[in-house]
Structure 1
């Protein structure tokens, strides 16, 4: 270390060249760093999704969900398997243990699914195996508007989607709200009876005629020619002219018994943008692509596409997630610049020399740029949290340089030359500087072992702070001594323009010295007051509350409209129009309103509508998104005929419902009763809003039970009756019609007006194998019943969920009240509950971070013990840690901010930061005592001498974080708890360090002397 410092001072050109090389690498790294809102979150979750058209939830669960559950449960690393079965779809979600290789797990899941795929019922779609990731969410939503929905769909399919998918970084573009082309064969029941042809014969004939196959080879000279029979339909006429053999032996064409049309499938949803019918295009980025670049590429390409659109069509951006990312990044960068400027001014105030300030101020840009280099080579992204780490580290980057320069100053005041002052001053305090930096670094090591979302989010922040501190340490022991030896020749001359500040410091030193004498004299009182202050602050914990993550006001909100089960699409549209009327009163806040009415994917239904609202930027409105949505929610509750909920979306992070009560047990009926009781109890808790239950009102349905004896008398089986009914009321796909690379379903069905009412069902007839027509009521019993909307299972056991949002209170307090109510409920044997959602994530994160904090404190002690080669003095230094509790809790209480994961990370960081001042103080006490100074005198003189550098390091760190602590700018809410925690914690601990740590030092030093004296007397007595 000594040689490194001396070499740096002797060889300034070499140091400068290295710095220039780092700066060049930093600029190149910054240009190539990917930009995103949050770090990549690796959730060990996979999903198997399967369609089973028009099947009831019970059938979906028994025939699809259960076999898939059993299959995937055997995969290694599975923690929880959940299934969701509803009308027409099944979703099986697998949550793996942390640390599981998800790529290998997905291969294992695929193998298990392939083994049972053949056992799934006819008509079930192929299972889709998906890896769930926040990166799979769309980066942009585009709206295509026009008068003709069919034309919009065609242009979107053939022009717009291929065009955007060719743009760099785009993985796929999906269409929502479009029409799907279909060849519809509408059977004429009277004609079928006239010709004696069954619907099954029509299906079999069309399936066999619409196929091509190879039947062998023949020789032609020296060649073998493949013989291939072409039988696929080339046009609609081919379908119409397909011949069917009637029972009488005649030939009948399809056109004689059916009407063939090239049309569109019946739609079950509509999409509207700002009140206009539209198609919505969702742009997905590639896994390794940059969100901002992809969005920029799409935005740049849009004008060229819009020029090619027919007149009357419009293409515009609905939601661009990159806008909030760019605003958030700009906000953090502004906070970094403001914090750096504040730190620079503080230095100038203390040093009253521009040269000296520049010497230290260079630490900031060099450390930041070096951090960009390390971030690039470790694969990090430039996001709100990693940049937040830099913003938080601005002040800390200067600590090492301030301490070194201050000691160089002291040597200059004693008459040493520039070279001697630079080398001796640096060498003397280099070990203390290294120790203080190391203590700040080691607190981040346990975070590496924290699992889940907390680790994914805050490891980049920890790395950014660590990289910047390492870089600033290298600068402090190389560049600062070198520049000091060259630039500080005239710094000691004159009092400068800020002489008033030196007078203030001298006055403060005098007052501090007298105050320190008093606390050293009244040591017991000082310790007692400190303990009482710590205990008193603990009583504030229930009043600050807890939450998982602070919400960022991204300006996105959601409104869900749920009409009674079984409602028609038209009825749901009517309810949605009433919501539109209310939203019209908030046009000044709205940028875009995008609503999907009905089922937009396999999880929806026609009795649901979902609004996605994009508000204008937070800086342009006088109310937060949450305040606006709370008011809208109050107004929509007055709309009769639907359950409507309005809420703000959570800052770009999809973390689920704040509170989810998961009820498990063997019987669905009992779970439904329990869920109703839990729902009622939750609604009584203050702060609970938008409560929902998966045991909502059931879907009305008709249950048909086949009379096996009656059916067998006509030569019919239950499956034959089911197949004919399915044909009549659902239609069946009998093949594909290929045209210009497209595969279009060929669907056979009865006319719509013969399959819509209950009378149509009751008047139905079944055709027996002999050709006889049998009325349906002779074969079955029909009764009206009510079936569930959704069936849930977890780990192959039935489940019901009750979910809610939280408004006006912190998450921790609401959860505590709910737990109190649930503990008073009487659950039947075999039934249990657990709390999930963000509440569960918060509890797990706090437990893991609590363990990380304990290990961080232990590692700090280890580093100090190695540094001082003493087991007692590190213990004395760490007495500054308990006093941070006063600042942390008091700061959160004063600013009305709940303790979150971000705030907990701040507490862990404080464990490494607050001891730095103690290290400098205790280390200098030891130096003075080695010089022969008396105990009390050394403590007071060390305090007076170190007051200036302690104030400089504390003020630069604290004030540089003030911009983040104020939470100004887009996305600043995410770092605000962390900044507030450090600002208040470091402020209070710095004060206690100056008074409480010297008292503890004196107490333990006196105890040590007494112990040593007793040992000496015992040894003397033995002699």
Structure 2
């Protein structure tokens, strides 16, 4: 018993099977996640090591090269890219497709543990990032407040917003970026230190020895067992009274040589949200979580949490990835629905029977719904690729049904009984239709078995198309013959019905129209047969011209989308002070507000924050001489210009700053992750950084002279100007001073050293020891730094 015969003779069974498929497909659809793109595990791992205050050359020699040599032994590595910037070492490890990245992370961690003793003591531990689409934030808020509330805003957001949001299902992490960080500042007076002959080491040690809470064992007396503990945590008012040393029996306290402030750490980065001081609240979802559902849950939670903050705190939605997903999915869903309606209308137009058209149209929902079962079982989501696959397949899933229907109809018109015609008509074309469908499916096989990002990215599309088409074949060979045998009347019978019947009128109209179409086609075919050579040569010419025109058609991995965002990068000469960068960045911001009426909100920042490493990972760049402006535009239905057009129109408006390089582009979250960024990259490799720099400059100059090439940049950035402290080793050794001591003293004086921690209400804040600002602002201040000697004396830095 073949499929058409089974479908006709086992009608109830066939109906139950397809009803079951529809129910299972509906249940699967309700449980499928909704996302912009499929979950893709890109075989890339990044290792970031922060070494604050170090120049690119020092980072290269002391961290990057050591780590690169060691990590090159990790299994399945395809290539390693190493980047050394001011204070940051970035290693990008690209693995072969199919490599087990979880094992790779463990191997990398083991190798890094081996080299840790060889890394600088004051460098942070290396951080390992596994490249993941989920790294793109699901939601980003800009949070601003008035001047009175702003200093405490970071702590408020961490306690009242970030911690509760992390309990929302699907939320992986909540990060608060920017703002002021509270610290207890111990600002040393260099003159008083010299007068009392004290060193920074004595100050730090005194604070550490007086600030502790340690157990002292147990005392058992009677029936009780007591824990002995020494709760000696310092209170803010007690820090000034800590004794550092004695001078002829008189105690020298912290307050004698320093000023103690409960204040905030020195600002190295500032952010503005809509021109108001603000912070960034970034929410990342778990890998595999439904982005739309996560965002909805966060929005609901935020309505309650906002009530815990002062009324002057304002939240501005900078990025809502669910909004873009919903719009994209809705557009595709509407296209899918429109396509389905058009397919049914075309069938109706050619067949002339509403009932017959509806029978054939049943193959559309049945075939498409079956794909949802596969998507759910395979762990996929509904995204632009799966819906695109359905939109592609919707026109093909009716092909087999039309052929089967027409062949059944031919047998009925020849006088065959309806049930027998349904079986014979379906059986006759079963082999041909199976071969046809398998040929279409075979087109997608190379995509399924190919390697690389494109294969991983479009594999889901290939699966969905293949399953939809195979489902349409099974529908055509079982469901269509069954429905025909139960519901169809012959054309002869129809012709005997009332001429006023709507279906009959439609059939007469379409037959008349189709006859004209057939006549037109027949005449065209006759002319083509009479001029065979001309037709062949014309077709060949069109084919060759099409091949030639391909070179003029642009290509990209992912088409540009109007995400409604622009980004501006302002780069001043290396070494420019943080304050000057802020002035220029705000001047550019003024132009942006003046020239872009479509503007909805802005986020402006300059300088280096605590998340500098993360910014590097996400493709951004932070430095004291760099400012960034992100612009969110109103919905595209409310504006005429695209982000690309706005960026082009701004080109002449931003060339008014002689010392600043202003670059602008239509921003795209994750663009660089999925093959975006610069369309052409030329790599210059080598261990001699100066030689590599010279070659890079020559290559850049050559590229700039090529027509059509714009925006040539060199990834390697210059380090800030340095003041090098050259130690006279012979003199230093005679005095009993080593390089480590000098380096430690300089770090404390100029960068600050965390002596210990101040604890309050379960939180810890740094107690930072540093010279007061006015004592560390000139080169003379550097020369006059006191270096302690083993005999208890001190000498100025200029003497060693």
With normalisation by structure 2, the TM-score equals 0.92
Query: Which residue in the other structure is 1:549 paired with?
Result: 558
Q: Secondary structure at the match of 2:767?
A: strand
Query: Which residue in the other structure is 2:350 paired with?
Result: 350
1:649 positional shift: 2.4
Are positions 1:703 and 2:702 aligned together?
Answer: no
Deviates more, 1:708-717 or 1:397-406: 708-717
Deviates more, 1:150-159 or 1:10-19: 10-19
1:400 positional shift: 0.7
Are positions 1:594 and 2:598 aligned together?
Answer: no
Query: Which residue in the other structure is 1:502 paired with?
Result: 511
1:491 positional shift: 4.3
Deviates more, 1:497-506 or 1:349-358: 497-506
1:347 positional shift: 0.2
Distance 2:571 2:593 in 1: 20
- Judging changes above 3 Å, is the alpha-carbon distance between structure 1 residues 151 and 217 closer, same or farther for their aligned structure 2 residues? closer
- Judging changes above 3 Å, is the alpha-carbon distance between structure 1 residues 767 and 248 closer, same or farther for their aligned structure 2 residues? farther
Question: Which protein is richer in helix relative to its size?
Answer: 1
1:455 positional shift: 1.9
Distance 2:683 2:551 in 1: 26
Residues 265-304 of structure 1: pairs in structure 2 closer than 5 A: 265-304=265-304
Distance 2:490 2:91 in 1: 74
1:660 positional shift: 1.9
The question of whether the paired residues in 1 share the 8 Å contact of 2:593 and 2:599 is answered with: no
Distance 1:214 1:68 in 2: 40
Query: Which residue in the other structure is 1:12 paired with?
Result: 11
- Judging changes above 3 Å, is the alpha-carbon distance between structure 1 residues 249 and 440 closer, same or farther for their aligned structure 2 residues? farther
Query: Which residue in the other structure is 1:79 paired with?
Result: 78
Distance 2:724 2:700 in 1: 29
Query: Which residue in the other structure is 1:194 paired with?
Result: 195
- Judging changes above 3 Å, is the alpha-carbon distance between structure 1 residues 696 and 256 closer, same or farther for their aligned structure 2 residues? closer
Distance 1:224 1:120 in 2: 46
Deviates more, 1:632-641 or 1:604-613: 632-641
How many residues of Structure 1 are paired with residues of Structure 2 in the alignment? 777
The question of whether the paired residues in 2 share the 8 Å contact of 1:551 and 1:651 is answered with: no
1:478 positional shift: 0.8
CA offsets per residue over residues 893-936 of structure 1, 9 Å max, x none? xxxxxxxxxxxxxxxxxxxxxxxxxxxxxxxxxxxxxxxxxxxx
1:688 positional shift: 3.0
Distance 1:21 1:382 in 2: 21
1:518 positional shift: 6.8
- Judging changes above 3 Å, is the alpha-carbon distance between structure 1 residues 47 and 226 closer, same or farther for their aligned structure 2 residues? farther
- Judging changes above 3 Å, is the alpha-carbon distance between structure 1 residues 94 and 695 closer, same or farther for their aligned structure 2 residues? closer
Are positions 1:160 and 2:156 aligned together?
Answer: no
1:98 positional shift: 1.3
1:184 positional shift: 1.4
Distance 1:71 1:650 in 2: 35
Distance 1:498 1:621 in 2: 47
- Judging changes above 3 Å, is the alpha-carbon distance between structure 1 residues 358 and 467 closer, same or farther for their aligned structure 2 residues? same
CA offsets per residue over residues 406-463 of structure 1, 9 Å max, x none? 1111111211111121111100001111111111112212212222321222111111
Query: Which residue in the other structure is 1:26 paired with?
Result: 25
Distance 2:734 2:26 in 1: 86
1:189 positional shift: 2.4
1:496 positional shift: 3.8
CA offsets per residue over residues 535-567 of structure 1, 9 Å max, x none? 333222222243332212222221111111111
Q: Secondary structure at the match of 1:284?
A: strand
Are positions 1:647 and 2:668 aligned together?
Answer: no
Are positions 1:209 and 2:219 aligned together?
Answer: no
Query: Which residue in the other structure is 2:422 paired with?
Result: 422
Query: Which residue in the other structure is 2:135 paired with?
Result: 136
Q: Secondary structure at the match of 1:237?
A: helix
The question of whether the paired residues in 2 share the 8 Å contact of 1:356 and 1:491 is answered with: no
Query: Which residue in the other structure is 1:662 paired with?
Result: 683
Are positions 1:729 and 2:729 aligned together?
Answer: no
The question of whether the paired residues in 1 share the 8 Å contact of 2:199 and 2:787 is answered with: no
CA offsets per residue over residues 499-545 of structure 1, 9 Å max, x none? 35434434544555566567668766665554444333322222224
CA offsets per residue over residues 70-113 of structure 1, 9 Å max, x none? 22222111122222222222222211111110001001111111
CA offsets per residue over residues 811-864 of structure 1, 9 Å max, x none? xxxxxxxxxxxxxxxxxxxxxxxxxxxxxxxxxxxxxxxxxxxxxxxxxxxxxx
Distance 1:438 1:631 in 2: 51
- Judging changes above 3 Å, is the alpha-carbon distance between structure 1 residues 613 and 579 closer, same or farther for their aligned structure 2 residues? same
Are positions 1:638 and 2:648 aligned together?
Answer: no
Q: Secondary structure at the match of 1:81?
A: strand
Q: Secondary structure at the match of 2:398?
A: helix
Are positions 1:177 and 2:178 aligned together?
Answer: yes
1:618 positional shift: 2.5
Residues 564-579 of structure 1: pairs in structure 2 closer than 5 A: 564-579=573-588
- Judging changes above 3 Å, is the alpha-carbon distance between structure 1 residues 453 and 751 closer, same or farther for their aligned structure 2 residues? same
Could you list the runs of 5+ residues in structure 1 that have no partner in the other structure?
780-1023
Residues 241-320 of structure 1: pairs in structure 2 closer than 5 A: 241-246=241-246, 250-320=250-320
The question of whether the paired residues in 2 share the 8 Å contact of 1:306 and 1:314 is answered with: no
Query: Which residue in the other structure is 1:675 paired with?
Result: 696
Query: Which residue in the other structure is 1:926 paired with?
Result: none
Query: Which residue in the other structure is 2:637 paired with?
Result: 619
Distance 2:669 2:742 in 1: 53
Match 2:647 to one of 629, 634, 643: 629
CA offsets per residue over residues 463-504 of structure 1, 9 Å max, x none? 121121122111111110011112211444236435354344
Deviates more, 1:646-655 or 1:280-289: 646-655
The question of whether the paired residues in 1 share the 8 Å contact of 2:413 and 2:491 is answered with: no
Query: Which residue in the other structure is 2:544 paired with?
Result: 535
Are positions 1:474 and 2:480 aligned together?
Answer: no
- Judging changes above 3 Å, is the alpha-carbon distance between structure 1 residues 621 and 686 closer, same or farther for their aligned structure 2 residues? farther
1:652 positional shift: 4.9
1:224 positional shift: 7.9
Q: Secondary structure at the match of 2:174?
A: strand
- Judging changes above 3 Å, is the alpha-carbon distance between structure 1 residues 80 and 774 closer, same or farther for their aligned structure 2 residues? same
Deviates more, 1:578-587 or 1:465-474: 578-587
1:120 positional shift: 2.1
Are positions 1:563 and 2:564 aligned together?
Answer: no
Distance 1:307 1:216 in 2: 46
- Judging changes above 3 Å, is the alpha-carbon distance between structure 1 residues 116 and 770 closer, same or farther for their aligned structure 2 residues? same
The question of whether the paired residues in 2 share the 8 Å contact of 1:196 and 1:247 is answered with: no
The question of whether the paired residues in 2 share the 8 Å contact of 1:554 and 1:652 is answered with: no
With normalisation by structure 1, the TM-score equals 0.73
Query: Which residue in the other structure is 1:94 paired with?
Result: 93
1:249 positional shift: 6.1
Q: Secondary structure at the match of 2:436?
A: helix
Match 2:709 to one of 688, 696, 699: 688
- Judging changes above 3 Å, is the alpha-carbon distance between structure 1 residues 593 and 335 closer, same or farther for their aligned structure 2 residues? same
1:308 positional shift: 2.5
Query: Which residue in the other structure is 2:47 paired with?
Result: 48
The question of whether the paired residues in 2 share the 8 Å contact of 1:563 and 1:643 is answered with: yes
- Judging changes above 3 Å, is the alpha-carbon distance between structure 1 residues 474 and 634 closer, same or farther for their aligned structure 2 residues? farther
1:265 positional shift: 0.9
1:191 positional shift: 2.7
Could you list the runs of 5+ residues in structure 2 that have no partner in the other structure?
496-503, 614-621
CA offsets per residue over residues 267-303 of structure 1, 9 Å max, x none? 2111111221111100111123111111111112222
Distance 1:292 1:652 in 2: 17
The question of whether the paired residues in 2 share the 8 Å contact of 1:145 and 1:277 is answered with: yes
Distance 1:685 1:504 in 2: 58
Q: Secondary structure at the match of 1:690?
A: coil
Q: Secondary structure at the match of 2:35?
A: coil
CA offsets per residue over residues 355-411 of structure 1, 9 Å max, x none? 000001111111121111221111111001110110111100111101111111111
